[in-house]
Amino acid sequence: MAYAYDDQNIFAKILRKEIPNKTVVETDHTLAFEDIYPQAPVHVLVIPKGAYVTYDHFAESASDAEIADFNRVVAQVCRKLGVSADEGQGCRFISNAGEHGVQEVPHYHLHILGGRPLGRMLQKAD
Ligand code: 5GP
């Protein structure tokens, strides 16, 4: 089954510059920008410029160049904002996908959260 990409999603609008963003790093394939409702002192979203819905969609369908570039940008953001685990105190990478993952924006994005202790990864469900 093919993923259906909604080009009216908010990150598609950011990529078309219809909505402003606070850019942290930008390359030909990738954009990293500050989350509008930060959940931690550092909260950056890294998105590919291509039309991918989830992490697994990106991993399955993106070119090697896009995948390599995306991952290099993740590392650049961590260095730039001081949340790498060697020079800084670490961070958390999160990517929500689909209904069970409670993904709000249907354009693949990786959250980078840091700048404070983040607690355990998941709370036990009822
Ligand atoms: P999700 O729940 O899909 O993993 O996360 C979507 C994220 O996008 C949320 O953390 C939310 O705060 C962020 N977000 C939603 N709309 C905007 C926007 O217009 N600009 C920015 N910078 N972030 C947004």
All structural domains of the chain, each given as residue ranges with its CATH number in brackets, are 10-114 (3.30.428.10)
User: Looking at ligand 1, which residue's alpha carbon is closest to its atom 20?
Assistant: 36
**pLDDT score recorded for residue 2:** 85
pLDDT in 10s for each residue of the chain, 126 residues: 689 999 999 999 999 999 999 999 999 999 999 999 999 999 999 999 999 999 999 999 999 999 999 999 999 999 999 999 999 999 999 999 999 999 999 999 999 999 999 999 887 776
**Residues 124, 61: Cα–Cα separation, whole Å:** 33
CA 34–ligand 1 middle distance (angstroms): 9
Token reading at 59? 């991993």
Q: What is the dihedral of CA 98, 66, 40, 103, to 10 degrees?
A: -10
47 has which bridge partners?
Answer: 31
Q: Which of 29, 57, 107, 109 is catalytic?
A: 109
Q: Is the CB of 96 under 6 A from ligand 1?
A: yes
